[in-house]
Amino acid sequence: MLYNLLAWQMSWEWMLAICIPCLVISALCAIFIIVVIMLQQSNSNGIGSLGGQQDTFYSQNKGQTLESKLRKLTVIAVAVMAVFMIIFCVVVFNVNF
């Protein structure tokens, strides 16, 4: 009985050691995602063609612009947040694979 109680307490401390950093990192990622999305410009390619706007050299080479870097940062932050939330759920709900 005492062994089970100690094993439970050790597992509880282990859970806290993993869950708290996962939640902190996920919260920081969420705030970062909000900021990065707010910095991005709206994508209105379809509306621009109605007004007769043409594709410029700048719009064709978007792979090197700040907009593309912000999109990549958004994808990376969402992936990091998803990984840490999966780890959190596995630890909290004791999912065994």
- Number of structural domains found in the chain: 1
Is 33 contained in some domain?
Answer: no
Rounded to 5°, angle at Cα 21 from 20 and 26:
100
Q: In the chain, what is the greatest distance between 2 CA atoms, to the nearest angstrom?
A: 78
Task: Report which residue type is found at 19.
Answer: C
The pLDDT confidence band at residue 65, using thresholds 50, 70 and 90, is: confident
pLDDT at 22 over 60: yes
Supply the range of the domain harboring residue 87: 66-97
> 53 phi and psi, to 5 degrees?
-75, 145
pLDDT at 37 over 60: yes
Is 43 contained in some domain?
Answer: no
